């Protein structure tokens, strides 16, 4: 199995590390034949050492010695089976990630992505293209990181009618609101999240609910067979949540959490009152989801929604599923 890694930031490096750590799981050779980031690329049909790739990135800031031009050119320069697309998310246009995914599927090759941009904007187009070309498109890590939700609903709960999904899908927002529960004002809680690495220098995608909305769209299209995009989501972020609102909720035995909800008719992201002790009242950076089904009732799952190794674990599961399918 020959792999190209498009994007070699936190998750790309994590996946390379996981391939090294879990090499004994594979009963056929699995090798990285190309990797590229925004600055550079490297290819080797014989296989690249994942540890060396990560070390070079840490030491030089670039994954390879060659100056980066077009990702499509790199993809066309090597013979590969699976593209692992983990470049930065562009929710406005889909960015390079969308071009990489579409190009690979048109070639009849398989794709694993955690990039929310292509999926939130063009999911159904990409899904139809994959089926037409006989390709496999998998994206477990795009929602909830290590929390297994997409494959759980589409594979393990096959035969069930999933009626709704409500959840906390952004650890940054959950951390901020959890800290506000202790009396910290919003700005101070946000600053703490940034200092700990939970929030970016520009936290807009997180605190305005954009990241959660992307994940809700992916769930709507993949689990509920809807045909929606990011523009169809009703979004309210957490910037308007005041210390007074947090205190008032506490007086009523409640907390405020940013909840994404999706069903056949609902597509919404908003701060909501949640009773203390409820599964969706969790604190910290955890992601949690409540899946309402017709036969099994309510299923609750929780897990780390981000992190290099955690998200890479979801990519690994998708890779092994593709290998099983191709066998």
**How does pLDDT run across 262-271, given as a tens digit for each residue?**
999 999 999 9
In this structure, what are the phi and psi dihedrals at residue 154, rounded to the nearest 5 degrees?
-85, -20
Predicted local distance difference test score (pLDDT) of residue 17: 97
What would the pLDDT profile of 168-191 be if each residue is shown by its tens digit?
Answer: 999 999 999 999 999 999 999 999
As averages over each run of 10 residues, the pLDDT of the chain (327 residues) reads 96 96 93 97 97 97 95 97 96 95 98 96 97 98 93 93 97 96 96 90 94 97 96 96 97 98 98 97 94 97 88 96 94
Predicted local distance difference test score (pLDDT) of residue 252: 97
- In the residue annotation, 215 being an active-site residue is answered as yes
Predicted local distance difference test score (pLDDT) of residue 77: 97
Find tokens 């992201």 and name the residue.
269
Residue 166 CA: distances (Å) to CA of 59, 73, 154, 197: 42, 41, 16, 26
- Alpha-carbon torsion, ordered 47, 53, 56, 58, to 10 deg: 180
pTM (2 d.p.) = 0.94
**Which is the catalytic residue, given 57, 116, 215, 304?**
215
Cβ distance 62 to 37 under 8 Å? Answer: yes
Residue 96 CA: distances (Å) to CA of 25, 67, 79, 135, 268: 31, 17, 20, 20, 27
Predicted local distance difference test score (pLDDT) of residue 199: 87
Predicted local distance difference test score (pLDDT) of residue 198: 87
- Walk me through the domains of the chain, giving residue ranges and CATH numbers: 2-146+308-326 (3.40.50.720), 151-304 (3.30.360.10)
């Amino acid at each position: 199995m020959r792999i190209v890694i498009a994007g070699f930031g936190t998750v790309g490096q994590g996946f390379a590390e996981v391939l090294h750590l879990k090499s004994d799981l594979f009963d056929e050779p699995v090798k990285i034949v190309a990797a590229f980031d925004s600055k550079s690329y490297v290819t080797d049909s014989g296989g690249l050492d994942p540890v060396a790739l990560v070390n070079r990135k840490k030491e030089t800031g670039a994954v390879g010695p060659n100056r980066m031009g077009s990702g499509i050119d790199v993809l066309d320069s090597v013979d590969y089976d699976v593209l692992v697309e983990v470049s930065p998310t562009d929710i406005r246009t889909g960015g390079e990630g969308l071009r990489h995914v579409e190009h690979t599927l048109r070639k009849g090759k398989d794709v694993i992505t955690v990039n929310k941009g292509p999926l939130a904007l063009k999911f159904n187009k990409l899904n139809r293209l994959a089926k037409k070309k006989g390709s496999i498109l998998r994206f477990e890590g795009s929602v909830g990181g290590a929390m297994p939700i997409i494959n759980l609903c589409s594979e393990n709960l096959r035969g069930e009618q999933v009626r709704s999904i409500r959840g906390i899908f952004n650890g940054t927002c959950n951390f901020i609101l959890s800290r506000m529960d202790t009396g910290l004002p919003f700005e101070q809680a946000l600053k703490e999240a940034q200092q700990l690495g939970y929030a970016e220098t520009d936290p807009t995608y997180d605190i305005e609910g954009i990241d959660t909305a992307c994940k809700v769209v992916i769930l709507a299209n993949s689990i509920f067979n809807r045909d929606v995009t990011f523009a169809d989501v009703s979004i309210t972020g957490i910037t308007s949540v005041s210390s007074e609102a947090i205190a008032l909720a506490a007086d009523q035995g409640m907390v405020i959490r940013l909840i994404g909800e999706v069903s056949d008719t609902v597509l919404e992201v908003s701060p909501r009152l949640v009773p203390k002790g409820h599964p969706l009242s969790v604190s910290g950076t955890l992601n949690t989801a409540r899946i309402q089904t017709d036969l099994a009732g309510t299923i609750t799952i929780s897990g780390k929604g981000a992190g290099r190794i955690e998200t890479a674990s979801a990519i690994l599961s998708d890779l092994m599923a593709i290998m099983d399918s191709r066998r």
